[in-house]
Structure 1
Amino acid sequence: MTAETLSPQDLSFLARPLCGFFSTAAGASPPQPRPVWFEVTTNGHVQLFTGSDTPKVRQLRRDPRASLVVAAPVGERERWVSVAGPTTLASDGAWELVERLAARYWDLDDPIRAQDLAQMRDEDWLRVIIEPEIVRRYAM
């Protein structure tokens, strides 16, 4: 299957601090989406972070296929983007991604959020990188 690319409109939408819903290929089990922070990389992949010993990592090691769906919040016109494809797990750059996304989604001038981020430093993080093979979208 050839990879699809995100359109300029998709990239603009995905640059916002929206929650994505991440699902792994679950075989006989129905998908169990989880809300995640994410970013689009310069090469058009989508990445997020997770703990190294989570159920999603164990599932991705069995079957690397996954998807992420991002929808506009309530009060905006209906819009969503879905990206699906194979994933890669990487430890390099994981903490930097955590820090970058924390700054995007949280006000780190808030001492409580700054403390939350400091406590996250002790975790063992991985980057989950989705290479888009299928991109679907809807916008009104």
Structure 2
Amino acid sequence: MINADVRRILETAVVGHLATLLPDGAPHSIPIWVDPEGDHIAIMTGPDSRKARNLRRDPRVALSLTPVDNPFEPVIIRGRVEKWIDGDAGWAIIDRIATKYIGQPYPREQAREVALIAVERQSVGMG
């Protein structure tokens, strides 16, 4: 379950940094767009991206968010990808996320899908 303070930040256009694990166990971090989807956190990716390949092999993630209006209220999340959504249902989520960040639906030039992250640990703020 996403707590109210985390949800409030996820609902803004905050840029997240997602850490996944490479095949050799090394960390891989990438900036991403995020949005709550029920009790999960939705992210989008290309089906053949490094991020997607990492997550299919090992679904564990760490996600950090730093709100622009309060950098002293960082959000730290650990969880795992529980579900993948593609097709029309995926595009509905992708378009909602893109509209939040860029004010319009996501272009259709590239294949995209949604990964839903189940939150296992979450904290807000310093300390």
Q: Under TM normalisation by the shorter chain, which class is it? A: 0.7 to 0.9
d(CA) in 1 for partners of 2:19, 2:71: 24
SS in 1 for 2:48: coil
| 1:126 maps to which of 105, 113, 122 | 113
1:80 — aligned with what? Answer: 74
Equivalent residues in 2 for 1:1-140 (5 A)?
A: 5-26=1-22, 28-42=24-38, 44-73=39-68, 76-87=70-81, 88-92=83-87, 93-108=89-104, 117=106, 120-138=107-125
SS in 1 for 2:122: strand
The Cα RMSD (Å) is 2.1
Per-residue deviation, residues 28-80 of structure 1 (Å, max 9, x unmatched): 443221111111112x210110011101111112111112211122x635111
State percent identity of aligned pairs.
22
Structure 1 gaps, min length 5 = 109-113
Q: Which has the larger radius of gyration?
A: 1
Which one has a larger percent strand, Structure 1 or Structure 2?
Answer: 2
d(CA) in 1 for partners of 2:98, 2:113: 15
4+ residue runs over 6 A deviation: none
Structure 2 gaps, min length 5 = none
Question: What is the TM-score of this pair, normalised by structure 1?
Answer: 0.77
Does the aligned pair in 2 maintain the 1:95–1:121 contact within 8 Å?
no
The one-letter code matched in structure 2 to 1:57 is: A
Does the aligned pair in 2 maintain the 1:90–1:128 contact within 8 Å?
yes
Q: 1:27: Cα distance to partner?
A: 6.1
Does the aligned pair in 1 maintain the 2:17–2:63 contact within 8 Å?
yes
